[in-house]
Amino acid sequence: MDASAGTTEAFPASLTERDIAALLFVAEMYAVQIDQLAAVLGVTEARARAITLGWRRARYAESAKIGPGRPWIWLTRAGLSASGLPYRAVSPALSRLAHLRAVVSVRLALEAAPGYARAGAFWRGERRLRAAAGGRVGLREHIPDAEVHWPDGAPVSFAGECWAVEAELTRKTVARTAAIMQEILSRTGDYGCPAGQARMPGVAPRHARVVYLCSPAAGPTVARARAALGETGRRVEIRRLPPGADMAGPAGGTGGPAR
């Protein structure tokens, strides 16, 4: 993970590179559940719990069973500070747990795809986007759940593109969904850029496409919203959320490595 570069010295010697990468992953995603952390670390859930205990002892992370399913892990202020990430330390909001889990699942599924690693793509989560925007996020401005950047020169036809990723669990109205799609696809500026650059006529859009990962309930609405966009809708990709994205967690057991 590129983001871990240069941060090793901030951690005690007992932390491995894998730990650091996982801490950065957790920081970026707000919070993750233990089974998802196990997938990130590539260990069993039991081992992930032990690793989490070490983080808690170092006061880098906090964990608690705050919702249905498995315990959640998030970084404390000390953990974020040691990671060198300028985020505000907050415990995950109960109302967002389902969404957080869905987004983490999407990221795990995408990163597990061989094409993603081969291209050297990187994930820029909502938390990072909001941090970059600082206080300049408009009240009505929509920030996607993540951006995926495909580096120039990557061995894919879409090298150099930037995608927006949206995890859609609940049904909105078609009009609202279409408006969000339009907003994302017409944006030209980075998040946090001066307002005048956010949508500049004649400038290439920031997001080459937006990828919607939908629950079965939200799928039809998203599809209709895409159809409503006409030609622009060609830049909207719709897929189902990966298995295990709902709060019930993965169907499988907890014995073997998750990844």
**Residues found near other proteins in the complex (CB under 8 A):** 106, 109-110, 112-116, 124, 149, 151-152, 156-162, 186, 188-190, 192-194, 196-198, 200-206, 208-209, 211, 213-214, 219, 223, 234-235, 237-242
Q: How far is the CB of 156 from other proteins (least distance, A)?
A: 7
Return the structure tokens found at 247: 């709060």
Q: How far is the CB of 33 from other proteins (least distance, A)?
A: 20
Q: How far is the CB of 209 from other proteins (least distance, A)?
A: 7
DSSP secondary structure string, 134-196? Answer: TT---TT----SEEEE--TT-SSTTTT-EEEEEEE-S---HHHHHHHHHHHHH--SPTTS-HH
Q: Pick between residue 196 and residue 255 the one whose CB is nearest to other proteins.
A: 196
Q: Pick between residue 54 and residue 205 the one whose CB is nearest to other proteins.
A: 205
The C-alpha atoms of residue 34 and residue 237 are separated, in whole angstroms, by 29
Q: Pick between residue 51 and residue 218 the one whose CB is nearest to other proteins.
A: 218
The C-alpha atoms of residue 196 and residue 219 are separated, in whole angstroms, by 34
Q: How far is the CB of 244 from other proteins (least distance, A)?
A: 12
Q: How far is the CB of 153 from other proteins (least distance, A)?
A: 8
Q: How far is the CB of 183 from other proteins (least distance, A)?
A: 13
| Among candidate residues 206, 238, 246, 209, the one with its CA nearest the CA of residue 100 | 246
CB within 8 Å of 43: residues ≥ 6 apart: 51, 257, 258
| Among candidate residues 63, 70, 58, the one with its CA nearest the CA of residue 19 | 58
Q: Pick between residue 51 and residue 154 the one whose CB is nearest to other proteins.
A: 154
The C-alpha atoms of residue 33 and residue 127 are separated, in whole angstroms, by 17
Q: Pick between residue 51 and residue 110 the one whose CB is nearest to other proteins.
A: 110
Q: Pick between residue 56 and residue 172 the one whose CB is nearest to other proteins.
A: 172
